[in-house]
Amino acid sequence: MKTFPMFLTMAGRRVVIAGGGEQAAQKCRLILKTEAQITILASSLDPELADLHAAGKIGWDNTAITAQHFADTALVFIATGCPGIDSALHALAKDAGATVNVVDRPDLCDAITPSIVDRSPVVVAIGTEGTAPVLARQIKTRMEELLEPRLGDLAAVVGRLRDSAAMRLKPRQRRDLWRWVFNGPARDAHKRGAEREAAQLIKDAIATADFGQAGPAPVSLVGAGPGSKDLITLRGVQRLQEADIIFYDRLIDPEILDLARRDAERVYVGKAPGAHSWPQDKISGLLVAAARQGQRVVRLKCGDPGVFARGAEEADALTEAGIPFEIVPGVTAASAASAAMGGFLTERGQCDTLVLTTGRGEHIDDTPDWPGLLTQGRRVAVYMGVGTADRIEAALTTAGLAHIVEVDIVANAQMPSQKIAQCKAADLTQTINNHGITNPAILFLSHRKTAPVQLAHTA
């Protein structure tokens, strides 16, 4: 980010606007939504600004402008409409140490005015660092459609009841309460205009601590997808934003963790091949312990929790401890790798059976029957198969399939470091070495159907 988004406290602080025309009026309308004290610096005012001054809503100073006019301000807007005058006033404001916005001059701006969706006290600010204001307005339009017009009123009710909730409920209960408020019947009632009913529902929930959360919250086994943060599901993002503590894997993109609550605890429990510093039973024990402490737990796994992710072992440990869990599916690596190649996991008439397997079993000798898996019409997706590529090649060579089976190799699917290679099974190890491919990678072994031989008919 070149600019840092921040909401400034404006109550009682000075905002100076240099200019008396339409540009200045636009900034004045914006700042009038706050509780700032506004002063206009101009020799004359347009009718709108003149009316605001006459009504006592803004101050007006028509004396010669000096640096002192800009001292002790929260913000300065320069909007005379004249590039030369704007530049000169910008220099004076900077001499006074002011934070300055010069209209239509991003090169002279310390602060850039965002597009704003106002549901006060709920305010959404959208910025593009001055590069694409049209895009910012498009996003604003989408947000206006998404947020109900009176959402701010519901937020204000919640604000008035926060002290009551703090006195009666524990921190975890309070988080669950507000989650219930904004995702349940209270918000639904408020949307349809039943504001009194909505407020009473919230008050009753605070008084009884009854808002649909009995016992420990389910531990969420969340699939993060193959790597890139935009491939996690919306439900996965929601669980991250609700989590008190997140246990995450070695291959998780750090940017995915940025989607979580800022104050959520993050615990790395990654495993590297051959160096299991975090044994599975220890990870399972941590999940159980955190859930028993009343924390909302997310176990964030690469890909899908149900595909070679040892999710079943963690689920068994939670079940044995009497702790509920949920599975939030993710895009598995095979799907992501196939899409990266612009291909499909199954193809009618060519590959109508898909097998998911792994090159690394629990024991070193746990080797799949590769020839047996690769009957005609099958595609076999081998997870973490680089380390056993030589065994795959040898088995298919012995079976006479090495020059028939096609192999697609995708490493780091959907990531900037992605690599793709194709070969016959006979050249598998050489291709991997030539391209410098390492895990995480998917090997697709395909034994396509051959067209039936058409016999010629004789008369």
Q: Quick one: pLDDT at residue 300?
A: 96
Question: Residue 455: pLDDT above 50?
Answer: no
Contacts of 242 (CB under 8 A, 6+ apart): 175, 179, 261, 296, 298
E runs forming strands in 249-389: 265-268, 297-301, 325-328, 353-358, 378-383
- Mean pLDDT of the region 253-276: 81
Angle formed by the axes of helices 171-183 and 151-168, nearest 10°: 160
pTM over 0.75: no
Q: Of all residues in the chain, what percent carry a pLDDT higher than 90?
A: 71
Chain segment 46-76, per-residue pLDDT in tens: 999 999 999 999 999 999 999 999 999 999 9
271 is catalytic: yes
Tell me which of 249, 253, 304, 408 is the catalytic residue.
249
12-49: pLDDT as tens digits: 999 999 999 999 999 999 999 999 999 999 999 999 99
At residue 432 the predicted structure's pLDDT band, cuts being 50, 70 and 90, is very high
The predicted pLDDT at position 216 comes to 67
Would residue 249 show up in a list of annotated catalytic residues for this protein?
yes
**Catalytic entry in 203, 271, 419, 424:** 271
Q: What are the tens digits of pLDDT across the range 173-208?
A: 888 899 899 988 999 999 999 999 999 999 999 999
pLDDT for position 459: 46
Q: Which amino acid is at 236?
A: G
Distance CA 164, CA 166 (A): 5
Per-position DSSP letters for 208-271, written without gaps between them: HT-SS--SSPPEEEEE-BSS-GGGS-HHHHHHHHH-SEEEE-TT--HHHHTTS-TT-EEEE---
